[in-house]
Amino acid sequence: MNNKQLAITIEDSLPIQLAVIRISNLLVRNEEKAYQQLLQCAHRYRELYQGKTAGEVPGIHHARKFFRAIGVEPTRRRPSSEALLNRALKGKPFPAINTLVDVGNWCSLDFLLPICIYDAEKIVGNITVRRGREGETYLALNNREINLANRYVLADEAGPFGSPITDSQRTAITLDTRHCLLIIFAPNNYSTETLLGQGNTFAERVIRFCSGELVELTII
């Protein structure tokens, strides 16, 4: 799946909105230029909020809010953005993955919103964002089998492949990825104008470090 329209629907009961971005003709590189931007962003947080916890950082409440709204305690099952912030505040190292994933981590930390990045050609059919069902799992990027019950998941016709906690290996980005789907999660009362601006910033950064052409940027 590349330039074909991706149909994405959100389960009615979920209190979220998404920035949906598609970029084609990418050149994903194994270099650290985007990674250095991530490190600089982490350094700024550490300088500004030295000695403070993640919960004391302005903006962290946005992701926590939509996690708690479905009964997920974000201090136990952290949004990916909060996991990045914790790493930054504690001065822990960040892994360098590739230019596309590094841009995603940089933007997630910068915006303090969970971001998901997928190889669009590995997605099967249409996508639904819903609650995970009992017994649903997948092998995550951290090589762990993740229990998805009652958590936010993205699912295609082959089953769940992503979440704002950690994504699956099935749709992971590689150096061979040419077409990507990018998702920014936000609560439903988040400023749509702000989310659109962040989507534009994300797309611009991806194209800056990975080339490519913007195919779609919408808020749903």
In the chain the domains, ranked by start, together with CATH numbers, are 8-219 (3.50.40.10)
Give pLDDT, residue 4. 57
2-16, 63-77, 106-120, 201-215: lowest mean pLDDT where?
2-16
Give pLDDT, residue 3. 53
CA distances from 88 to 50, 61, 62, 110 (A): 10, 17, 18, 11
For 95-136, give the DSSP string.
----HHHHHHHHHHHHHTS-EEEEEGGG--S-EEEEEBPTT-
Cα–Cα–Cα angle for 182, 208, 92, rounded to 5 degrees: 70
| Token pair in block for residue 132 | 């995970």
Contact residues for 93 (Cβ-Cβ < 8 A; gap 6+): 87
Closest CA to 89 of 63, 113, 60: 60
30-39, 68-77, 82-91, 152-161: lowest mean pLDDT where?
68-77
> How many Å apart are CA 51 and CA 47, to the nearest integer?
9
Q: What is the mean pLDDT of residues 132-161?
A: 95
Q: What percent of the chain has pLDDT over 90?
A: 92
pLDDT at 73 over 90: no
Q: What is the pLDDT of residues 173-207, one digit of tens each?
A: 999 999 999 999 999 999 999 999 999 999 999 99
Q: What is the mean pLDDT of residues 122-149?
A: 95
CA torsion through residues 62, 64, 65, 70, sign: positive
